[in-house]
């Protein structure tokens, strides 16, 4: 099997074309068909002769991800896809639609970057099974392209406007493929998704946060924070034992210094764990003076984790304390709650086993 065509940068594809005895300009045509229009077969590429597909067939692989299952929310149109990868592994991807009155509508795809995850966050059942493998760039980009392809069958004008790397896996642990996927999705001859419309979410891999600041200063960084106290965060996000809060916050300060970009802190409110008024005051103190906003997420009640949501009144009080302290706060809009797609926790039953595919909260 050849290189995944969806994971090849234009220059790489040019090299492949030249090596196959084809003129360089064929690479540009093929790239556009694949990356902009989501072509899934050589005969879909109208201005590309069949001989090009034949010449490249051994070198590159054009197989699309296979959508094994799609669920559509009846309340807000959120779609959850279960994709099968070439080796039979599966990942989940979510499309969230936001209607806007003034600006154009937003269509955000939440992609997975790994099969499973090694990070073991307490609220996340993806981590329960450990890491299976990293995704290749073509498999990450392929999630966006396949969703675009499918939705365009109903709506030919459909465009993916935003991508969040928040599905299964820790994106900064698959750094090479992440950067390649960002670059491909940003390419003006492809999806042309602005850097600022892409969000990388991490549980706090400090050295990689600084790498990202240098390599891709325009993407949006989201950090799964979940507590302002090390003893609590150690339990919720075990990576905190390697990179405790002080190191993480130092990295955030450097990140902002380098990029001048606002950081989003994700904070899942868990009853009796991190949602008291004192937790809110600690959080306000921790983030004081930082260019940031805090995204509060009522944690999804997942049976395996045993975690519960606070009441709405407790959530409101938590938000009020932060706001009064001058912190910018938002409460994440719930999407696809009827298909368990909200707040990054996606659940699925497959082959009789309870399988939870999850993203960061
Ligand atoms: S929340 Fe994210 S980083 Fe943590 S275990 Fe789950 S997938 Fe991994």
pLDDT at 326 over 90: yes
Q: Is the pLDDT of residue 22 over 90?
A: yes
| CA angle (239 as vertex; 233, 242 as ends), nearest 5 | 105
Which band of pLDDT confidence, cut at 50, 70 and 90, is reported for residue 338? low
Give yes or no for residue 331 having a pLDDT over 90. no
The domain ranges of the chain are 3-61, 66-358
The answer, yes or no, to whether residue 345 has pLDDT greater than 80, is no
Average pLDDT over residues 32-56: 95
- Strand-pairing partners, residue 358, are 345
Q: Tell me the CATH number of domain 3-61, given options 2.40.10, 3.30.379, 1.10.150, 1.10.1200.
A: 1.10.150
Given this model, what pLDDT does residue 76 score?
A: 84
Residues assigned a catalytic role: 92, 343
Provide the pLDDT confidence category of residue 96 given band limits of 50, 70 and 90. Answer: very high
Decide: 122 in ligand 1 pocket, CB within 6 A: no
Q: Tell me which residue of 111, 81, 99, 72 sits closest to 333, measured CA to CA.
A: 99
- Kindly give the distance from the C-alpha atom of residue 303 to the centroid of ligand 1, in angstroms, as a whole number: 17
CB hemisphere CA count around 19 (13 angstroms): 11
What is the SS3 assignment for the chain? CCEEHHHCCHHHHHHHHHHCCCCCHHHHHHHHHHHHCCCCCHHHCCCCCHHHHHHHCCCEECCCCEEEEEEECCCCCCEEEEEECCCCCEEEEEEEEECCCCCCCEEEEECCCEEECCCCCCCCCHHHHCEEEECCHHHHHHHHHHHHHHHHCCCCCCCCCEEEECCCCCHHHCHHHHHHHHHHHHCCCCCCCCHHHEEEEECCCHHHHHHHHHHCCCCEEEEECCCCCHHHHHHHCHHHHCCCHHHHHHHHHHHHHHHCCCEEEEEEECCCCCCCHHHHHHHHHHCCCCCEEEEEEECCCCCCCCCCCCCHHHHHHHHHHHHHCCCCEEECCCCCHHHCCHHHEEEEEECCEEEEEECCC
The first and second tokens of residue 218, run together, are 């325009």
Chain segment 47-86, per-residue pLDDT in tens: 999 999 999 988 999 998 999 999 998 888 899 999 999 9
The CATH number corresponding to 66-358 among 3.40.605.10, 3.20.20.70, 3.40.50.2300, 3.10.20.600 equals: 3.20.20.70
Residue 114, phi then psi, degrees to nearest 5:
-140, 160
The residue contributing the CA closest to ligand 1 atom 2 is: 360
* Res. 344 pLDDT band, cuts 50 70 90: very low
36 C-alpha to ligand 1 centroid (Å): 30
User: Does residue 104 have a pLDDT over 70?
Assistant: no
C-alpha 81 – ligand 1 centre gap (Å): 19
What pLDDT, in 10s, does the model give residues 244-295? 999 999 999 999 999 999 999 999 999 999 999 999 999 999 999 999 999 9
341: its two tokens = 């797609």
Nearest-CA residue for ligand 1 atom 4 is 121
| Whether the Cβ atoms of residue 180 and residue 12 lie closer than 8 Å to each other | no
Identify the pLDDT of residue 108.
96
Q: How many angstroms separate the Cα of 347 from the Cα of each of 41, 44, 201?
A: 32, 35, 20
C-alpha Rg value of the chain to the nearest Å = 21
What is residue 87's predicted lDDT score, i.e. its pLDDT? 93
Nearest CA to ligand 1 atom 1: 360
Q: What is the pTM of this model?
A: 0.91
Q: Give the pLDDT of residue 354.
A: 27
pLDDT at 350: 39
Mutate to test the pocket of ligand 1, among 134, 169, 203 (most ligand atoms within 8 A of CB): 203
pLDDT for 123 equals: 81
Please tell me the predicted confidence (pLDDT) of residue 124: 83
pLDDT tens digits, residue range 113-151? 999 999 999 888 777 789 999 999 999 999 999 999 999
Average pLDDT, the chain: 89
What's the confidence (pLDDT) of residue 316?
Answer: 93
* Average pLDDT value for residue range 317-332: 93
| pLDDT cut 90: percent of the chain above it | 78
Q: pLDDT tens digits, residue range 180-221?
A: 999 999 999 999 999 999 999 999 999 999 999 999 989 999
**pLDDT value at residue 353:** 28
Q: Which candidate, 256, 278, 276, 277, places its Cα nearest to that of 265?
A: 256
Q: How far is the CA of 338 from the centre of ligand 1 (A)?
A: 22
Q: What is the pLDDT of residue 102?
A: 55
Q: How many CB atoms lie within 10 A of CB 304?
A: 12
Quote the pLDDT of residue 342.
37
At residue 343 the predicted structure's pLDDT band, cuts being 50, 70 and 90, is very low
**Is 168's C-beta closer than 6 angstroms to any atom of ligand 1?**
yes
The pLDDT confidence band at residue 302, using thresholds 50, 70 and 90, is low
Indicate the top mutation candidate among 132, 302, 358 to test ligand 1's pocket, ranked by most ligand atoms within 8 A of CB. 358
């Amino acid at each position: 099997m050849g290189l995944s065509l969806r994971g090849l940068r234009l220059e790489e594809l040019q090299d492949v074309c030249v090596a196959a005895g084809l003129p360089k300009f064929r690479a540009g045509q093929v790239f556009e068909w694949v990356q902009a229009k989501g072509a899934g077969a050589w005969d879909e590429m109208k201005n590309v002769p069949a001989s090009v597909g034949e010449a490249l067939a051994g070198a590159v692989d054009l197989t699309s991800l296979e959508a094994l299952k799609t669920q559509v929310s009846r309340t807000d149109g959120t779609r959850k896809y279960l994709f099968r990868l070439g080796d039979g592994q599966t990942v989940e991807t979510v499309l969230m639609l936001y209607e806007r009155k003034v600006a154009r509508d937003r269509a955000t795809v939440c992609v997975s970057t790994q099969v499973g995850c090694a990070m073991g966050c307490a609220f996340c059942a993806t981590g329960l099974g450990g890491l299976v493998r990293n995704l290749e760039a073509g498999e990450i980009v392929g999630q966006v392209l396949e969703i675009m392809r499918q939705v365009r069958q109903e709506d030919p004008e459909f465009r993916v406007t935003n991508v969040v790397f928040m599905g299964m896996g820790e994106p900064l642990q698959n750094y090479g493929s992440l950067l390649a996927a960002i670059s491909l999705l940003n390419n003006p001859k492809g999806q042309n998704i602005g850097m600022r419309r892409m969000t990388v979410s991490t549980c706090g891999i400090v050295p990689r946060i600084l790498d990202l600041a240098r390599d891709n200063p325009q993407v949006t960084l989201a950090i799964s924070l979940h507590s302002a106290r090390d003893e609590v965060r150690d339990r919720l996000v075990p990576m905190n034992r390697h990179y405790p809060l002080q190191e993480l916050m130092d990295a955030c300060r450097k990140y902002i210094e380098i990029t001048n970009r606002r950081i989003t802190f994700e904070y899942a409110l868990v009853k009796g764990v991190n949602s008291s008024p004192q937790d809110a005051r600690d959080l306000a103190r921790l983030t004081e003076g930082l260019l940031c906003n805090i995204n509060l997420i009522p944690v999804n009640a997942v049976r395996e984790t045993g975690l519960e949501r606070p009441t709405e009144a407790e959530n409101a009080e938590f938000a009020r304390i932060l706001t009064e302290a001058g912190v910018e706060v938002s409460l994440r809009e719930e999407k696809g709650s009827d298909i368990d797609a909200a707040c990054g926790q996606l659940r699925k039953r497959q082959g009789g086993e309870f399988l939870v595919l999850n993203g960061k909260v």
